[in-house]
Structure formats: C-alpha cells, structure tokens
Amino acid sequence: MSSEAAARGGLDERVDRVSRRANGALATLAAIAVLSIMLLTVVNMVLRFAGAPIAGSFELVGWLAALTNGLAVGYTQTRRGHVDIDVLTRLMPLRIQAVLRAVMTGVATGFFVIVTWQLVEHGLHLRDVGSLSDVLRVPFYPFTFAVAVGFAGFVLALFADLLRHGREAMVPRREGDRTGWTGTATDMADDDGSEGRE
C-alpha cells in the first residue's frame, strides 16, 4: 500500500473515531429523551386519574420524540442500523459494488448537509419571529437547533463512511485476496457457503 493510500486509511479511521464518540454522546441524550417520554407518560396517566393531568404533555412528548429521532440518527449510521438493500448490487463485481457504495454515500452526505443547513435556517427563522408553542408558550427554535446538531452528527458518520468506501474503491487489493476485485459476492458465497458480504 502506498503512503498516500495509508494516509487516506489513517484519515478515515480518525474521522470514524470522532464520529463514533460524537454520535455516542448524542445517542445518550436521545436515550434520556426516550426515558423522559416514558416517565412523563406514566406520571401523566397517574395524575389524570387524580384529575390533574400535566398541561402540555402532548407538546412535551412531541419535542422529546423529535430529539430522540434527531439525536440518534447518526449513531444508527455508525452501527450500520439503516436499511441496506443489495439484492441487485451483490450480484455485481466487488469493484463495482465498492464504487457504487462510494457514490451513493457521497450523494447521501451532500443531501443531509443540505438538510442540516435548512434545519439551522429554519431554527433561525423561528427564533427571529418568536414562534411559541400553543399551550406551554415555549420557543420552538432550541429543539430545531438540537435536531440540526443530531443531523450534523449523521453527516459526520456519512462522511466517515464516504472516506472508507472511497478508499475501498481506489486501493487495489493484493493478488489472491478473496476480498479483491475479481468475481462477485455471490461467487464467493458459492465457493464457501457464506454470503460473501462485508
């Protein structure tokens, strides 16, 4: 492996470590939000029987649910938890698979950069107009910014994957390496009974 390829490998590993730490912290906050939803729901049910339900509980649950989803999406990416349909691509040569993964990850990264940017823009707009919730009269923009932070973590995870997939697509494999560019994942599965997936 050339020094340039080694540098690329080192870069994607460093970015991946930062991504995992950052998204792990965000996932912890998402877990706290889930626990808060559970606690709020139980307490509200008990108080409702007592004739004193929590005012604005619907709003609170909605905000906490948004935080749960927004802050956990990057962690899910680091754990390869999103749906990955490879019915067609796994039949292709491994080199083409690697190139397609790099291209699609690049497209996804660009798309979610725009999503994150638009969330920030929307949060600034909500702050400027002073938008408040109907019942509790709480500003919306802090929650919008929090979700934007979660999607920024998602972008970081995608970028780490983009670097890794790019390296896999560009760095030639050693001769005789079963993970090389000859054959397909299906061919490998036929040889040893495994699925031949990464």
Residue 115 lies in a domain: yes
Structural domains in the chain (count): 1
161 part of a folded domain: yes
Q: Do the domain assignments include residue 20?
A: yes
C-beta neighbour count of 163 within 10 angstroms = 20
> Is residue 151, in this structure, part of any structural domain at all?
yes
Residues 6+ apart with CB under 8 A from 47: 53, 54
Find the domain containing 129 and state its range: 3-192
Q: What type of residue sits at position 171? A: V
Could you tell me what percentage of the chain is helix, strand and coil, using 3-state DSSP and rounding each to the nearest 5? 75, 0, 25
pLDDT digits (tens, 9 = 90+) for 19-62: 999 999 999 999 999 999 999 999 999 999 988 888 889 999 99
Give SS3 for 45.
helix
pTM across the whole model: 0.79
Asked whether the predicted pLDDT for residue 150 surpasses 80, the reply is: yes
Q: Contact, 54 vs 43, CB < 8 A?
A: yes
10 lies in some domain: yes
Q: pLDDT band at residue 131, thresholds of 50, 70 and 90? A: very high
pLDDT at 179 over 50: no
198, part of any domain = no
